[in-house]
């Protein structure tokens, strides 16, 4: 059971920092708060009492989306539902749209934020591989005697392992800067113990662009979650595919290249098989969305499955 003495809704960064200082070491930041009840129920030590919950979802610095020519700024309080409702946003972040489709359910998508998904640092977090594909940089804010200071860190460096990040005490994630990928197709694959409202056993995010003739891969970005202590980019697979022909042989080779990244101590062979299948299907689906010939893709899938 979860109990708290104070629920504070901060409207500005300074108000959040004031509350954090007032309850030093005795608070928890929330935005969508969609994960705090499972966290409390699982206990990690039976009943959980937090003196103060500080809601930062209404802070202007953590909200809003700015779409530039090459980069997109996402406020940390951006809910996953935004990637389904905002057409301009989904057009430049195609893999995030596919991630949102798989993410939880309608009610949770409307509240769950990308900042919270990252801050939890779950190895199976759906948002992590999708944001890694976008080369996301994380902006963090900290107040000290000199005022509010900000720093940026690559997402790949922010998360260090299960429930571990390099977020310093007193810091707040304020935003993400991501690559805009308007010419790419996207895909997201996920498997768990049921279709939705599930923690992923494994998940995969892909973004692909094609050459001018739409017969070969151009830019390829792939990241996987749930296969190790944190989500990772499949750099060797990406390098193999860039400039390679879009055919069954290429995709079959790519699907085998980095299966050793699966580090799970349980069901390792299963996760390897899942990753192989995910790579095959996601590459084909992303290529289709990027404009590849449908007949060629169907033949490719048939050849890989044979």
131-147: buried (b, 16+ CB within 10 Å) or exposed (e) per residue? bbbbbbbbbbbbbeeee
Per the DSSP assignment, residues forming a β-bridge with 139 are 152, 175
CA 301/CA 282 separation, integer angstroms: 11
Read off the pLDDT band of 2 (50, 70, 90): confident
pLDDT the model gives residue 35: 83
pLDDT the model gives residue 240: 98
pLDDT tens profile 131-167 = 999 999 999 999 999 999 999 999 999 999 999 999 9
Tokens found for residue 263: 């580090």
pLDDT the model gives residue 140: 99
Beta strand extents in 15-146 (DSSP E only): 27-30, 48-55, 65-67, 71-75, 137-144
What Rg do the C-alpha atoms of the chain give, in angstroms? 20
CA 120/CA 28 separation, integer angstroms: 12
pTM of the model: 0.93
Poorest-pLDDT segment among 22-31, 251-260, 286-295 = 286-295
pLDDT the model gives residue 201: 82
Rounded mean pLDDT, 224-248 = 96
pLDDT tens profile 266-295 = 678 889 999 999 999 999 999 999 999 877
Q: Which strand ranges, in their side-by-side order, compose the sheet holding 147-154?
A: 65-67, 71-75, 172-179, 137-144, 147-154
pLDDT the model gives residue 156: 97
> 301 to each of 27, 35, 234, 244, 283, how far by Cα in Å?
51, 37, 21, 17, 10
Q: What domains are defined for the chain? A: 2-55 (3.30.43), 60-179 (3.30.465.10), 185-305 (3.30.390.50)
In the three-class reduction of DSSP (H, G, I as helix; E, B as strand; rest coil), residue 130 is classed as helix
pLDDT tens profile 179-218 = 999 999 999 999 975 555 566 789 999 999 999 999 999 9
Helix axes 94-102, 268-289, angle to 10 degrees: 130
> 212 to each of 54, 59, 219, 237, how far by Cα in Å?
50, 44, 12, 22
Containing H/E element for 222? strand 217-225
Q: What angle do CA 35, 222, 157 make, to 5 degrees?
A: 60
Tokens found for residue 281: 């299907």
pLDDT the model gives residue 304: 60
């Amino acid at each position: 059971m979860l109990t708290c003495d104070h629920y504070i809704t901060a409207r500005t960064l300074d108000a959040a920092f004031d509350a954090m200082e007032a309850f030093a070491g005795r608070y928890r930041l929330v935005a969508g708060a969609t994960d705090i009840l499972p966290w409390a129920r699982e206990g990690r030590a039976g009943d959980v009492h937090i003196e103060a919950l500080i809601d930062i979802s209404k802070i202007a610095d953590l909200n809003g989306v700015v779409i530039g020519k090459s980069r997109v700024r996402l406020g940390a309080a951006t809910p996953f539902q935004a990637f389904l409702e905002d057409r301009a946003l989904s057009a430049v972040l195609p893999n995030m749209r596919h991630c949102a489709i798989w993410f939880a359910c309608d009610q949770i998508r409307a509240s769950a934020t990308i900042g919270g998904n990252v801050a939890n640092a779950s190895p199976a977090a759906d948002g992590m591989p999708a944001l890694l594909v976008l080369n996301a940089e994380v902006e963090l804010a900290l107040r000290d005697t000199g005022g509010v200071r900000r720093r940026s860190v690559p997402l790949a460096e922010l998360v260090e392992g299960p429930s571990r990040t390099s977020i310093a005490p007193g810091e707040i994630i304020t935003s993400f800067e991501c690559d805009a990928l308007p010419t790419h197709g996207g895909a997201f694959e996920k498997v768990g113990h049921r279709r939705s409202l599930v923690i992923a056993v494994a998940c995969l995010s892909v973004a692909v662009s094609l050459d001018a003739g739409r017969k070969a891969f151009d830019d390829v970005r792939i990241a996987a979650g749930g296969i190790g202590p944190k989500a990772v980019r499949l750099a060797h697979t990406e390098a193999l595919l860039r400039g390679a022909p879009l055919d069954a042989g290429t995709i079959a080779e790519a699907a085998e290249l980095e299966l050793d990244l699966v580090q799970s101590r349980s069901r390792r062979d299963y996760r390897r098989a899942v990753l192989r299948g995910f790579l095959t299907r996601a590459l084909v689906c992303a290529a289709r969305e990027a404009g590849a010939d449908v007949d060629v893709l169907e033949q490719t899938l048939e050849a890989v499955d044979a």
